[in-house]
Each structure stands twice: as C-alpha cells, then as structure tokens.
C-alpha cells in the first residue's frame, strides 16, 4: 500500500468538534496508509511562500478530542478574493502550487459555507479535496449536522437558564442575542430547550407591535397583585443576530465586510431592549453572547460527530473520492454518513423550515403535538 500525503485545514469561525474530526482523520488515516499534515490558519497557510505545517500522527492528536476550537488555528481567508493594497486579487494558483510543493495528494477542508465554497471552486479546477461540514449555525446545505452546533446549543441554553434568576428577581425582560447570520436553528432550539418566552429568527421578520402585545399578555401590569399571585414577572427573548424587523434591516456592528462579503452582525438585541423600554412599561436588558457561545470543550455529540466525520473523510481520501463532503443524515447515535458533491454548499443554505417549525404569531416553536 503506497502512502498518501493528506493536508488538513480548518477555516472560518472556530467550532467545537473540529479537533475530534482531526483526530478521527489521523486515526482512521493511519489504518489506511495516509500521512496527515496539519496546515495552519485555514486557506491562509497555503498562501505563504513557505506554508506552515505540522505532521500529525496518533501521538500528536491523541488528546485533541477533548479540545474546543481548532488546534490548527483558523482564518476567514478567501484565496480567490484576497485583499491587498485596497484591491482584490485571485491567488488560487498559489494555493494550487503550494499543494504541489508540499506534495499533498489531497486536502481535507473543515469549514462552513465560505471555506467549503473555496474548496468546491478548487475542486472544479481539479484540486483533490474532501470537505467536513462545520458551523454552529447549522446552515450548510447537504447535511443534517455541522460540527459545533450541539455544543453551542448547550452553551446558549445554559445562559438562558441562568438569565432567569436576575430577570425574575428584578422583573425585567431579558433579551439574549445569539449567533446565526441567516439561519435561526441555534436561536430556535436553544429557545425551546431553555424555554424562552419568545424566539426571533432571521427567516421570519418580526413586528415590534406583536412583541409588545405578547409581552403584555404575559406580564400584564406587573403590580403587587402579580407578585403575590406568583405569576410570571419576567420574560426571556432569544433573538438571532441576523433577525430583523419587518420595516427594518439587519443590525451590523460596523460597515466593514470580511473576505467573503459578510458584515459583522450584532446589536439587534440591544435595539429591541431599548424599544421595549421606551414603548412598554417594562424594564429590559440585553446581552449579546458573542464568541464564547462557540467556546469550551466539545459536547459528547460534537466529539462523536467529529470523530466519525474525520474517519469518513480519511476513507474518502484513501478511496480517491474527491470533490465530496461528508454528510450526515440524522445525528449520533442514529446517524448515517454518506458523501455528497461539494458543490451542494454553493449558492444555498439550510434555514429553519418556518412552515413546519415556527409559529409566526407566537414567535415560538410551532405546536408539534406537545403543549409547551
Ligand atoms: O458562521 C458562524 C458564525 O459564528 C456566525 O454565526 C457569526 O455571524 C459569525 O460566525 C461570526 O464571525 P466571526 O467569528 O468572524 O466574528
């Protein structure tokens, strides 16, 4: 069996589950005659004249399954639209040259829509790539699961849970802004798990008047009688950073864009809290959870999904199944893996199926036969 050299890189936002995936790749790869080379900081590594790399063997990655983030580092580098001196240049050829210089037979690319979009374009040019899906947004087309979602769900649910005591003690509306640029999976399911009162997602623009009405229905006059009757005197609203009002637009931190043309979203929770305070009798507080919601050790599901995604990618590389992404139908332990064409990630994302899951009147999970 002749040995194959396979590079691995992680791009875009870090996510728990990436290190288990690398371990799965190295361990399964070692049984299949693959020598795995870690490439640092996403696509950026393959733009360096001398790419930074680290040979990965079983001893190196033995404990990586327990680590959050990515031990290979990450970046939002887009080789085909690289910004230099105020201009955008296509440096894809340098990536291709470096893959040859490092004598890599294939590259395993772990990423979301953007990083895998680069991989899909390189595959069209004949580069041998295998994709592993990752993003806490869970919005990649072609797979039910993307690494990081479950851990982020756990992290956000914990915060919703902990927000109850301050909100209840002070009698205010707690707005919790979570990640999710175009997809509300994280907001919807953490909101259900944490039993938030209202959940606002990018797939369905909200109306302020409707939110105020729903708050009044729940909180009423907030007088002594309510306190004594022990009825709800607080409310928790979970809102995706990408959610927006019917008559408004997405709220961004500034007007800069990353290499893939995305603005940094953030602030819609604060905007909502201010409107609640100025247009209702209720106090409101907002918190944007930001990057820590992607932090910490991977959950058991992210460890398992990472390990099996990595192992499946090793098999694809060994069998010469290039231009493919590992895809899951179902989530561990009831999970079936397959390979789908990488082009599936281009030009489409997987958003919340509003007709099936979202109650557009109650701003919550649609009643699926259970009384929440
Ligand atoms: O795509 C994953 C994600 O976490 C989005 O939810 C969020 O909008 C974005 O990354 C944040 O980008 P960055 O990590 O570059 O700040």
Q: Which helix (H) or strand (E) holds 265?
A: strand 263-265
Distances 64 to 59, 75, 124 between C-alpha atoms, Å: 10, 20, 32
Tell whether the model's pLDDT for residue 335 goes beyond 90.
Answer: yes
pLDDT value at position 61? 98
188 CA from centroid of ligand 1 (Å): 17
Q: Compute and round to an integer the Cα radius of gyration of the chain.
A: 22
Q: Is residue 27 pLDDT above 80, yes or no? A: yes
- 224 pLDDT more than 80: no
Give yes or no for a contact between 363 and 214, defined as CB atoms under 8 angstroms apart: yes
Cβ–ligand 1 distance for 107 under 6 Å, the answer no
**Residue 358 in this model has a pLDDT that exceeds 90:** yes
The response to whether residue 136 sits with its C-beta less than 6 Å from ligand 1 reads yes
Q: How far is CA 309 from the centre of its chain?
A: 16
Backbone phi and psi for residue 322, each to the nearest 5 degrees, phi listed first:
-100, 165
Ligand 1 atom 8 nearest Cα: 181
Contact 183, 323 (CB under 8 A): no
Mean pLDDT within 22-51: 96
Q: In the prediction, which pLDDT does 1 show?
A: 59
Best mutation site among 138, 179, 263 for ligand 1 pocket (most ligand atoms within 8 Å of CB)? 179
Q: What is the pLDDT of residue 371?
A: 55
Ligand 1 centroid from CA 222, angstroms: 37
* Cα-to-centroid distance, 194 and ligand 1 (Å): 22
- Of 54 and 231, the one with more pLDDT: 54
Q: Is the pLDDT of residue 229 over 90?
A: no
Q: Is the CB of 13 under 6 A from ligand 1?
A: yes
Whether 307 has a pLDDT exceeding 60, the answer reads: yes
Q: What are the φ and ψ backbone dihedral angles of 331, each rounded to 5 degrees? A: -125, 145
The better pLDDT of the pair 202, 260 is held by 202
What ligand 1 atom has the least distance to the C-alpha of 265?
Answer: 8
Average pLDDT over every residue of 303-324: 98
Query: Quick check: is 41 catalytic?
Result: no
3-state secondary structure of 365: strand
Atom of ligand 1 nearest to the CA of 186: 6
Q: What is the number of the ligand 1 atom nearest to the C-alpha of 242? A: 8
**Does residue 175 carry a pLDDT above 60?**
yes
Instruction: Give the Å distance between the CA of 157 and the centre of ligand 1.
Output: 18
Choosing from 14, 137, 139, 150, which is the catalytic residue?
Answer: 137
- Could you tell me the two tokens for 91? 């440096």
Instruction: List the structure tokens of 355.
Output: 């007709």
Which residue's alpha carbon is nearest to atom 10 within ligand 1?
13
Alpha helices in 198-323 (DSSP H): 208-219, 224-229, 268-279, 300-319
What are the tens digits of pLDDT across the range 151-165? 999 999 999 999 999
Is residue 188's pLDDT more than 60? yes
Q: In this predicted structure, what is the pLDDT of residue 225?
A: 76
Phi, psi of 10 (to 5 degrees): -125, 130
List Cβ neighbours of 145 (8 Å cut-off, separation of 6 or more): 133, 138, 305, 328, 330, 331, 335
Q: Which of 170, 168, 173 is nearest to 279 (CA)?
A: 173
CA separation for the pair 113, 174 (Å, rounded)? 32
* 3-class SS of residue 227: helix
Please name which of 202, 204, 206 lies closest in space to residue 182, comparing C-alpha atoms.
202
Establish whether the linkage from the previous residue to 265 is cis, with ω within 30° of 0.
no
Residue 372 predicted with pLDDT over 60:
no
User: Quick check: 192 and 372 in contact, CB under 8 A?
Assistant: yes
What is the per-residue pLDDT across 70-121, written as a single tens digit (0 to 9) for each? 999 999 999 999 888 888 899 999 999 999 999 999 999 999 999 999 999 9
* Tens-digit pLDDT profile for residues 126-145: 999 999 999 999 999 999 99
Q: How far apart are CA 142 and CA 325, in angstroms?
A: 8
Q: Report the pLDDT averaged over residues 11-29.
A: 98
């Amino acid at each position: 069996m002749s040995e194959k050299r396979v590079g691995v890189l992680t791009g875009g936002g870090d996510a728990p589950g990436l290190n288990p995936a690398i371990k799965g790749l190295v361990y399964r790869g070692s049984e299949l005659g693959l020598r795995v080379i870690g490439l640092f900081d996403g696509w950026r590594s393959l733009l360096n004249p001398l790419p930074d790399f680290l040979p990965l063997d079983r001893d190196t990655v033995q404990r990586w399954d327990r680590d959050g983030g990515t031990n290979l580092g990450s970046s939002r580098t887009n080789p085909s639209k690289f910004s230099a001196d105020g201009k955008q240049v296509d440096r894809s050829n340098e990536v291709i040259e470096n893959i040859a210089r490092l004598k890599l037979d294939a590259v395993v690319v772990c990423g979301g829509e953007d990083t895998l979009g680069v991989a899909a374009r390189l595959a069209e040019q004949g580069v041998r790539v295998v994709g592993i899906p990752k993003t806490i947004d869970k919005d990649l087309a072609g797979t039910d699961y993307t690494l990081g979602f479950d851990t982020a769900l756990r992290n956000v649910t914990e915060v919703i849970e902990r927000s109850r005591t301050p909100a209840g003690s002070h009698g205010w509306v707690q707005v919790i802004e979570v990640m999710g640029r175009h997809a509300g999976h994280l907001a919807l399911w953490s909101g259900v798990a944490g039993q938030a009162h209202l959940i606002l997602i990018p797939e369905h623009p909200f109306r302020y008047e409707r939110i105020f009405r729903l708050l009044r229905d729940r909180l009423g006059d907030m007088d002594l009688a309510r306190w004594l009757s022990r009825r709800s005197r607080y409310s928790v609203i979970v809102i995706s950073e990408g959610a927006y009002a019917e008559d408004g637009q997405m709220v961004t931190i500034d007007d800069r864009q990353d290499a893939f043309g995305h603005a940094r979203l953030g602030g819609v929770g604060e905007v909502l809290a201010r409107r609640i305070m100025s247009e209702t009798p209720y106090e409101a507080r907002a918190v944007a959870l930001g990057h820590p919601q992607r932090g910490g050790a991977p959950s058991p599901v992210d460890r398992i999904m990472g390990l099996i995604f990595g192992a499946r990618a090793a098999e694809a590389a060994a069998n010469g199944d290039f231009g493919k992404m590992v895809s899951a139908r179902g989530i561990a332990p009831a999970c079936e893996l397959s390979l789908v064409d990488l082009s599936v990630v281009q030009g489409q994302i997987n958003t919340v199926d509003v007709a099936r899951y979202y109650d557009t009147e109650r701003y919550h999970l649609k009643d699926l036969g259970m009384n929440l």
